[in-house]
Structure 1
Amino acid sequence: MRAELRYREDRIVEPDYLHSVDEVGVLIEDLLTGPVHQNLAQIIHLDRPSMMPEWPDHEFLIGVDRAVQLGVVAFADGGGSVISAGGPETRNAPVYYLAGHWTDFSDRVEISIDIVRNAVEEFLASGGKRPTCVPWKERFPDG
């Protein structure tokens, strides 16, 4: 098992790698304690096929926000694009940052950091399948 990991400005061209679920806790802690504008990560599972060389057939995003102690998870592949479904107590339009580049999300998408951690572990262990431990909703329901 191996997955590419991009989240730091200095590691966008040459990614880091996750080799086991044992490394997930370190990733989550690094996102929580690292630069504020680098709290979103893209993870590409290398056991999944590519559509073309250097172009994966999926995208998995995870973010954690230390200020509110919540996170977000998004998954896309040929079956569609989904995002975590947060409760009514979560924020409207939260913003997370992948290597300093902002990504805004729709309302009510934040979930507990424990679910984010479990989702990454499940994604890695399953060979890159959409995690079942996350409550999902369509990411772009209008199109």
Structure 2
Amino acid sequence: MIAFSVEFSLQAGNDQGPIIAHTSAEVDAAFARILAAAPLLHNPTAHVRERPRFGPAQIPDHGLKMDVSPQFGVGALAYFGDPENEQSGPWVTKSGAQTTSAPLLHRDIDSATPFPVDAAISLDLIRQALHEFHSSGGRRPPSVAWQASASW
């Protein structure tokens, strides 16, 4: 079995990434840091370091981006990649039902690009998806529902 490492990019105040997670416990610790930094308005991204990169800038061939609201206990994920799958994305999470109590979550905070209103899922599901992303080597996590998206 191949051991994968996830690199989380965190740009939030004094807690600048990257955070490298090799183990399940380190993925949990990275997620705890992401939740703690949530009020600083950032979009953490993650990629598996062992996966291919392309172009002169060596951009990963996949990625997972998130926005979280610890206050409301929800977050949303955006995914691209999985080039071996004809449905490589981009994708965003899809909740079972739209809720009016969920906060506005952003796919890109800097440009104020929101996630769809039905993208908010529980933080427990976000954590589970991060573990699946890690253990699968950067594949789209199967524990959450996804909907096709026009952009990552």
State the TM bucket, normalised to the shorter chain. Answer: 0.7 to 0.9
Give 1:62 shift.
2.6
- Please list, as runs of the form range in 1=range in 2, the aligned pairs for 1:63-142 lying within 5 A after superposition: 63-77=67-81, 78=83, 79-91=88-100, 94-96=104-106, 101=110, 102-140=112-150
The aligned amino acid for 1:94 is L
Q: In the alignment, which residue of structure 1 is the partner of 2:48?
A: 45
Alignment gaps of 5+ in structure 1: none
Give 1:132 shift.
0.6
The aligned amino acid for 2:67 is G
Alignment gaps of 5+ in structure 2: none
User: TM-score by structure 2 length?
Assistant: 0.76
Give SS of 2:39's match. coil
Instruction: Kindly indicate which of the two structures has a greater share of residues assigned to strand.
Output: 1
Contact 2:132 2:141 in 1 (8 A): yes
Distance 2:113 2:9 in 1: 14
Backbone CA RMSD of aligned residues: 2.7
User: TM-score by structure 1 length?
Assistant: 0.81
The count of residues paired between Structure 1 and Structure 2 equals 139
Distance 1:35 1:132 in 2: 25
**Larger RCO: 1 or 2 (CA < 8 Å, sep 6+):** 1
